[in-house]
Amino acid sequence: MNRVATAGLPVKLHDIEQAAHTIARAVPHTPAHHSRTLSEIAGCEIFLKFENLHFTASFKERGALNKLSSLTDAERKRGIVACSAGNHAQGVAYHAGRLKIPATIVMPEGTPFNKVKHTRDFGATVELRGANFHEAVAAANVLVSERNLIMVHPFDDPKIIAGQGTLALEFLSQAPEIDTLVIPIGGGGLISGNSIAAKALRPDITIYGVQTKFYPSMYGAVKGEKVTCGGQSIAEGIAVKEPGHITRVIISALVSDILLVSEPEIERSIVTLLEVEKTVAEGAGAAAFAAVLANRKKFHGRKVGIVISGGNIDMRLLSNVILRELGREGRIQSLIIAIEDRPGFLAKVATIVSEAGGNILDVSHNRLFNNLSARSAELGMVIEARDVEHAGDIRKKLEQAGFAVR
Amino acid sequence: MNRVATAGLPVKLHDIEQAAHTIARAVPHTPAHHSRTLSEIAGCEIFLKFENLHFTASFKERGALNKLSSLTDAERKRGIVACSAGNHAQGVAYHAGRLKIPATIVMPEGTPFNKVKHTRDFGATVELRGANFHEAVAAANVLVSERNLIMVHPFDDPKIIAGQGTLALEFLSQAPEIDTLVIPIGGGGLISGNSIAAKALRPDITIYGVQTKFYPSMYGAVKGEKVTCGGQSIAEGIAVKEPGHITRVIISALVSDILLVSEPEIERSIVTLLEVEKTVAEGAGAAAFAAVLANRKKFHGRKVGIVISGGNIDMRLLSNVILRELGREGRIQSLIIAIEDRPGFLAKVATIVSEAGGNILDVSHNRLFNNLSARSAELGMVIEARDVEHAGDIRKKLEQAGFAVR
CATH 3.40.50.1100 occupies which residues in chain B? 3-58+162-324, 60-151
CA R_g for chain B? 25
Q: Does the beta carbon of A267 lie under 8 angstroms from any beta carbon of chain B?
A: no
| Residues A81, A140 contacting (CB under 8 angstroms) | yes
B274 to chain A, closest Cα gap in Å: 7
Chain A residue with minimum CA distance to B38? A55
Where residue A222 falls among pLDDT bands split at 50, 70, 90?
very high
Cα–chain center distance at B242 = 18
A278 to chain B, closest Cα gap in Å: 5
Tell me which residue of A45, A161, A317, A346 sits closest to B326, measured CA to CA.
Answer: A317
Which amino acid is located at A34 in the chain?
A: H
Residues 72-91 of B with CB under 8 A from A: none
Give the pLDDT score at A400: 92
Q: Does the beta carbon of A274 lie under 8 angstroms from any beta carbon of chain B?
A: yes
Looking at every residue in chain B, the average pLDDT score rounds to 93
Cα–chain center distance at B259 = 14
Give the pLDDT score at A1: 41
Give the pLDDT score at B4: 54
C-alpha span between B135 and B116 (Å, rounded) = 17
A274 with B315: Cβ contact below 8 A: yes
B315 with A326: Cβ contact below 8 A: yes
**Which CATH number is A3-58+162-324's, of 3.90.25.10, 1.10.8.350, 3.40.50.1100, 3.40.50.800?**
3.40.50.1100
Q: Does the beta carbon of A36 lie under 8 angstroms from any beta carbon of chain B?
A: yes
A120 to chain B, closest Cα gap in Å: 16
| Residues A353, A383 contacting (CB under 8 angstroms) | yes
Question: Buried b / exposed e across A69-107, counting CB within 10 Å, b at 16+?
Answer: bbbeeeebeebbbbbbbbbbbbbbbbbbbeeebbbbbbb
B197 to chain A, closest Cα gap in Å: 27
Fold annotation for A60-151: Rossmann fold (3.40.50)
Q: Does the beta carbon of B356 lie under 8 angstroms from any beta carbon of chain A?
A: no
Where residue B1 falls among pLDDT bands split at 50, 70, 90?
very low
B174 to chain A, closest Cα gap in Å: 15
Q: What is the mean pLDDT of residues B78-96?
A: 96
Where residue A82 falls among pLDDT bands split at 50, 70, 90?
very high
C-alpha span between A318 and A309 (Å, rounded) = 16
Q: Which of B280, B326, B357 sits opposite A110 (nearest CB)?
A: B357
Tell me the per-residue pLDDT of B292-324, one tens digit each, with 9 for 90 and over: 999 999 999 999 999 999 999 999 999 999 999
CATH 3.30.70.260 occupies which residues in chain A? 330-405
A322 with B331: Cβ contact below 8 A: no
Q: Does the beta carbon of B137 lie under 8 angstroms from any beta carbon of chain A?
A: no
Looking at every residue in chain A, the average pLDDT score rounds to 93
Q: In what order do the strands lie in the sheet with A180-184?
A: A32-35, A45-50, A303-308, A180-184, A206-212, A257-261
Q: What is the mean pLDDT of residues A244-260?
A: 97
**Which CATH number is A330-405's, of 3.30.540.10, 3.40.50.720, 3.30.70.260, 1.10.238.10?**
3.30.70.260
Q: Does the beta carbon of B384 lie under 8 angstroms from any beta carbon of chain A?
A: yes
Contacts of B79 (CB under 8 A, 6+ apart): B101, B102, B103, B104, B147, B149, B150
Which amino acid is located at A272 in the chain?
A: T
List Cα–Cα distances, A294 to A188, A282, A291, A388, in angstroms: 21, 18, 5, 22
Which amino acid is located at B15 in the chain?
A: D
Provide, as residue numbers in chain A, all residues whose Cβ is less than 8 Å from the Cβ of B52.
278
Q: Which of A55, A275, A387 sits opposite B315 (nearest CB)?
A: A275
C-alpha span between B75 and B69 (Å, rounded) = 11
DSSP B331: S
Q: What is the mean pLDDT of residues B229-248?
A: 94
B202 to chain A, closest Cα gap in Å: 29
Q: Does the beta carbon of A387 lie under 8 angstroms from any beta carbon of chain B?
A: yes
Q: Is the pLDDT of residue A263 over 80?
A: yes
| Residues A51, A45 contacting (CB under 8 angstroms) | no
List Cα–Cα distances, A180 to A192, A274, A298, A351, in angstroms: 15, 23, 11, 53
B390 with A57: Cβ contact below 8 A: no
B113 with A52: Cβ contact below 8 A: no
ipTM, two decimals, is 0.91
C-alpha span between A135 and A129 (Å, rounded) = 7
The backbone torsions φ and ψ at residue A372, rounded to the nearest 5 degrees and listed phi first, read: -90, -175
Contacts of A115 (CB under 8 A, 6+ apart): A85, A86, A89, A107
Q: Does the beta carbon of A392 lie under 8 angstroms from any beta carbon of chain B?
A: no
C-alpha span between B203 and B3 (Å, rounded) = 9
Q: Which of B37, B274, B315 sits opposite A271 (nearest CB)?
A: B315
Q: How many CB atoms lie within 10 A of CB B193?
A: 33
Where residue B372 falls among pLDDT bands split at 50, 70, 90?
low
